[in-house]
Structure 1
Amino acid sequence: MTASIRVLVVDDHATMRAGFRMILEATGIVVSGEAATGEEAVARAAELRPDVVCMDVQMPDMDGIEATRRIVEAGTAAHVVIVTTFDRDDYLFSALDAGASGFVLKNAGPEELVNAVRVVAAGDALLAPEVTRRVIQRHARSALADDAPSRAATPSDPAQPADRAGLTDRELEVLRLLAQALSNAEIARTLFIGEATVKTHVSNLLLKLGARDRVAAVVYAHRHGLA
């Protein structure tokens, strides 16, 4: 029997915490604890060792961004999903920089919250569809700025094929599906292979591309015509 996912729900509104608990526990996910402030979230995460933390942003004494940073830096196995009302770039990018594995909006349907918890518990990253394009654009702008000197020094050759970076055909397939924001489980179903095999392919292509995460790999795919 597969072990249940254990979740810490963090929000300064009791009714919101109760709503999240009801949604998650209806699907077999275990809510092992709750917290109403950022400081309480850090302490409860260390105490309970949850698989996933559903983290609000605006809270008393310490916001969810700083709480996320401290939980991640503590080295626990918990993956943090930011769940917020505010679709703001500063929250989004600060959360990702702090180490959050997911970002969803509170106006999303219950199934999206459940899916986010399951995806990040499996070690994947998940962003709400509304913000995925903004993340890719930001990484792309940064990468283009970093590469500008080398591009100026080396004229481009339009006849040169796309840079595969040594990727195998299967790794290219996985990369293209990553660029469609598919999770490992969805990629496995699409390619009719095991999820563990997908994780191996993702690890290998990240290493070959020199990408620190899946978002950076997607940016590479778009820049080099591989998506």
Structure 2
Amino acid sequence: MPTKPPIKVALVNDYEVVVTGLLHMFANYADRVRVVKLVAGREIRERVDIALYDSFGQPSADTPAVEGVLRNPLVARTVVYTWNFQQALVRRVTTDGVSGYLSKTLPAHALVHALEQVHAGKMVISPAPKAANPTGGNWPGREEGLSYRESEVIALITQGLPNAEIAQGMYLSPNSVKSYIRSAYRKMGVVRRSQAVSWGMRHGFSSDYIRFDPEDVQPDPDGS
């Protein structure tokens, strides 16, 4: 009996440590999932069954970046991978055409199973997570003790976003954002925003220009 080919999945995120964590999660499922290498900040350039859009470092899961993936004719289906399960956000992105909305609290086997269901044509929406941190994967600042949400806030601060935009994009109250900032600052040993940005730049919170080796990617015809 012939076996099914693995699902071809593109990991869409501009942080090397995040993508590496996902690669480790899929490592034991090579017969079911084949990951496509990407260059940070560039469109997917080969046909894939699923684009797994990791929302880390994005102000929201309904950003223009998601719309760009949805419009890409080389992507059969798009799945958002996130901890943010505000119902208004879930409704918005699924209405826009996302085929799945998966929680970062899913263990690897459950994530692979969900992707297989999406590939089979089913809309898959995870239950809202009860825990704030994923069970697998990785994120900048984890080794320094930052929780996932603290790390997300520091990533957006490093990008230069003010608290109001962070709160709006993450669907958090301004007081919740301030609470995450205070707890993160204590762990980072900083007291000012400028210090936090400098710390973030030194600890992997600026998105990567090149995610994989340059030899893996053909240059653009115009040399850019």
TM-score (norm 1): 0.48
Larger RCO of the pair (alpha carbons < 8 Å, separation 6+): 2
Rg larger in structure: 1
More helix by share: 1
TM-score (norm 2): 0.48
